[in-house]
Structure 1
Amino acid sequence: MTHCEFDHHTAEFAADPWRVYRDLRQRCPVAHSTAYDGGFWVLSGYRDVRRCTLDTGVFSSAADDLLIPAENPGRLLPVQADPPLATAYRRVINPLFTASAVAAMEPHIRRYVDQALDAFADEAELVADLALPVPGKVTMRLVGWPEQDWPDVVLPIRAFSTHPVGSPERDTAGEQLAAIRRRVADDVRGRRAGEPGNDLAARLAAGTVQGRPLTDDEAVDTMMMVLFGGVDTTVAAIGNMALYLDEDRELRRRLVERPELVPAAVDELLRYQAPVQGFARFVTADTEVGGQRIGRGEKVFLAWAAANRDPEVFDDPDSVRLDRRPNPHLTFGIGPHRCIGATLARAELRIVLERMLARIPDYRVDWGAVEPTVSCGTTFGRQRIPVYLTRDRHRGEGKQRAERA
């Protein structure tokens, strides 16, 4: 058995996870860490991660907790289920995430972004002023809650995912998440009792899986997944992209001049700095991965972010290339558990980037004041990204002067 010292909740890891992943891939792509829960396996090579993600029979998601260390903030469906049940749960909410549904959402996303940018002065903090409210309002619209309620949902989810287990901040966030869960449960019960509403709770109250109605718990678990999935990874990705484009101002100039390249940039930046680091799976039968024997009952961490930089699959993986075709990154997962909101997330990120480049193309990051998250065990992002900016408030559209490196 190959052992490694891998702890994805440390400040050292949060500062540069890519160096840690590179070392793992080179020395021990299938390694055993002794941290947490009696230890777990870490998979960092693309082919191993892809294979095990697709093998839902041996590498199961049907568990009370997919986090390392074990901590159950409440079951999330269909994430914590295996096919065919997971597929049945997805069918209930699929209509929210179709291409036509996302297209209908785009004017609202654009409005949310412009509202945020309208409030910018000569200085701004991109996380608090843009990256948090935009996905927050989108998610509120998705589930049918008032837009102004976004901080009540977004801030607890953000705190939970960016602080380590046992910290006061995470404990407080856990209590707030329990309150959100109670609100969801009240909505579901109300819709079942005949309270009017054309929202996600109503859809779930009327939903069926495998020929039977969803239980109250299943309905609540599914709505909680939509809330979780709609928030923190998009928040992190917005910040990551803004930071990278301040480092690579030549790429920023190209995107300002050729906005049709923005979708390719979004996809490549999602590969380059995946906001979701990975998820755990539980092994249901003795198996072998990369020459290592893994026993039934053990836990495996599938490091999608590490797989995205595997040089056996991606040429020059530590560089951002808009001509990367194909780009089979695993940022949204793969197979039956591929992120159901991937199309919506891409639309949000594209619109945020388009509007930033049109309206504040000259923004500059105050790098000395950038703060990483305390922990990135769940998502990789930053806590604060202060920026200085110039822009013409009256020219929201059109070509503006680009920053020239």
Structure 2
Amino acid sequence: MTTSESRDEAVGSGDVDFDHHSLTFRDHPHEALAELRSRGPVLHSSAHDGFWVLTDYASVFEAAKDDARFSSAESVGIPASGMPFPILPIESDPPQTQQLRAITMTPFSPGTVKSLQPDMREIATELIDAFIERGECDLVQELTTPLPARLMLRMLGFDESTWRSWVERVHLVIHDRAHDLDAAMTAAGSLLTELGTEMERRREAAPTSDLYARIVHGSVDGVPLDDVQITMYGFLMMLGGMDTTSGLTSNSLLQLCVQPNLRQRLIDDRSLLPAATEEFLRHDTPTLGLARTVTEDATMAGQSLKAGERALLMWAGANRDPAVFENPDEIDFDRENKRHLAFGVGKHRCLGSNLAREMFKVMIDEILTRLPDFRLAGEPVRFSDAGEVHALRHLPVIFTPGPRRK
């Protein structure tokens, strides 16, 4: 990036009519991003008080790695989250970002996540047992949503039987914020209140080793986190742990329904699952993009960005950039280039990436094992807004009934 001269010239040549919270974008996000990318990698939209949209791999990668010029501290959403305090650690900048992430790094490490696989299998077995004899189910409502939610509550040390209440509020915050801010903020307030109650429980009870206890007793530079920091950190655990993995899994299951040859390959050769996981992450990225705030005047891809302006880094656009991925709209389990940006890149790379991958593989493996001939039984239903997470609300399927395991 270089110092900018004039913003007006760039905006005049780069204005686009683009709203990532629209129904049109929800229904055709990849087509929309491809069309934008064909007009230029960095363009300006007047929606939501104006923002830049970055759609190619090179621009998204550059911005994501440059925390000094593309700050996460204000809000990673467009429009801004509406929360009175930063959602930590995602809405922070280095070095605070690394210091905050260090508090929960161990629970999300590859080794710890691997040790959680029996828990994932146990929950998956229980959930599938509940519908396997029926020969029909809603895979989102009955598996891909409850499993990540229950596991996250278990990790946090919360009552996992209350998963539905947590999920309903998380969905309001993520999927309704741009269209019904009051409902989203009411749900957010309820979440924060309950997180505050759990915080006090941790302080009054004997020490525990759960994830939330780590946050409650966490510190930065020897200074304990305050109440606001603790509850906002817990808030992020809920947002990240209860929606995106279900979004990835449901998007991918839909692909296996409409492309049965892919499903058969995985049934025949389960060793393909790790490579398939990376390809589904690239092709069906649930978090389509996150925002940054420009901190100084600069030029990027010929466009003049001004300090204080907002930029939306479209991970999904980068992941289907034909300059980087050959035949990007195709799902290719044998693809050699696996350097997708589904989890972001740099200091803000998704803290829960290991956990998401493992849960995804377990759910896909269990489905292919226990209901291998699953097929669509009706129209899949998406959430009305894909601006934050592109995900299915319902995925009705039918299959040959099978026996319970327990």
**Residues 1:375 and 2:388 aligned together:** no
Amino acid at match of 1:3: D
Alpha carbons 2:54, 2:313 under 8 Å: kept: yes
The Cα offsets for residues 319-365 of structure 1, whole Å up to 9 and x where unpaired, read as 01111123110000001000010000000000000000000000011
Superposition deviation, residue 51 in structure 1 = 0.3
**Residues 1:6 and 2:9 aligned together:** no
- Aligned residue number for residue 81 of structure 2: 71
Distance in 2 between residues matched to 1:376 and 1:164, nearest whole Å? 11
Distance in 1 between residues matched to 2:376 and 2:172, nearest whole Å? 23
C-alpha spacing 1:187/1:386, structure 2 compared with 1 (3 Å):
same
Amino acid at match of 1:13: F
The Cα offsets for residues 171-209 of structure 1, whole Å up to 9 and x where unpaired, read as 334312211211212222343345554433322232111
Alpha carbons 1:361, 1:391 under 8 Å: kept: no
Amino acid at match of 2:237: V
Aligned pair partner of 1:182 in 190, 193, 200: 193
Amino acid at match of 2:28: D
Distance in 1 between residues matched to 2:88 and 2:97, nearest whole Å? 7
Secondary structure at the counterpart of residue 281 of structure 1: strand
Aligned pair partner of 1:88 in 89, 92, 99: 99
Secondary structure at the counterpart of residue 92 of structure 1: coil
**Residues 1:30 and 2:5 aligned together:** no
- Aligned residue number for residue 331 of structure 2: 320
- Aligned residue number for residue 225 of structure 1: 236
96-105 or 197-206, larger mean C-alpha shift: 197-206
C-alpha spacing 1:5/1:235, structure 2 compared with 1 (3 Å):
same
Distance in 1 between residues matched to 2:63 and 2:189, nearest whole Å? 32
1:384-403 alignment runs, 5 A limit:
384-393=394-403
**Residues 1:247 and 2:258 aligned together:** yes
The Cα offsets for residues 128-178 of structure 1, whole Å up to 9 and x where unpaired, read as 1111101110110111111101112112112332235233xx633431221
- Asked which structure has the greater RCO (Cα within 8 Å, sep 6+), the reply is 2
71-80 or 340-349, larger mean C-alpha shift: 71-80
Secondary structure at the counterpart of residue 67 of structure 1: coil
Secondary structure at the counterpart of residue 86 of structure 1: helix
Distance in 2 between residues matched to 1:115 and 1:395, nearest whole Å? 8
Alpha carbons 1:364, 1:388 under 8 Å: kept: yes
Secondary structure at the counterpart of residue 369 of structure 1: coil
Distance in 2 between residues matched to 1:183 and 1:197, nearest whole Å? 18
Uncovered stretches (5+) of structure 2, i.e. residues with no partner:
1-10
- Aligned residue number for residue 199 of structure 1: 210
Superposition deviation, residue 36 in structure 1 = 0.8
C-alpha spacing 1:69/1:275, structure 2 compared with 1 (3 Å):
same
**Residues 1:43 and 2:54 aligned together:** yes
- Aligned residue number for residue 136 of structure 2: 123
Secondary structure at the counterpart of residue 48 of structure 2: coil
Amino acid at match of 2:386: C
Distance in 2 between residues matched to 1:46 and 1:142, nearest whole Å? 34
**Residues 1:97 and 2:108 aligned together:** yes
- Aligned residue number for residue 161 of structure 2: 148
Superposition deviation, residue 395 in structure 1 = 7.8
98-107 or 48-57, larger mean C-alpha shift: 98-107
Distance in 2 between residues matched to 1:220 and 1:40, nearest whole Å? 29
Alpha carbons 1:239, 1:382 under 8 Å: kept: yes
Distance in 2 between residues matched to 1:176 and 1:20, nearest whole Å? 31
Superposition deviation, residue 62 in structure 1 = 0.9
Superposition deviation, residue 372 in structure 1 = 2.1
Aligned pair partner of 1:162 in 162, 172, 175: 175
TM-score with structure 1 length normalisation?
A: 0.93
Distance in 1 between residues matched to 2:138 and 2:93, nearest whole Å? 40
Alpha carbons 2:177, 2:184 under 8 Å: kept: no
Distance in 2 between residues matched to 1:172 and 1:300, nearest whole Å? 26
- Aligned residue number for residue 305 of structure 2: 294
Superposition deviation, residue 18 in structure 1 = 0.6
- Aligned residue number for residue 352 of structure 2: 341
TM-score with structure 2 length normalisation?
A: 0.93
Alpha carbons 2:26, 2:385 under 8 Å: kept: yes
The Cα offsets for residues 104-142 of structure 1, whole Å up to 9 and x where unpaired, read as 111011111111111112211111111110111011011
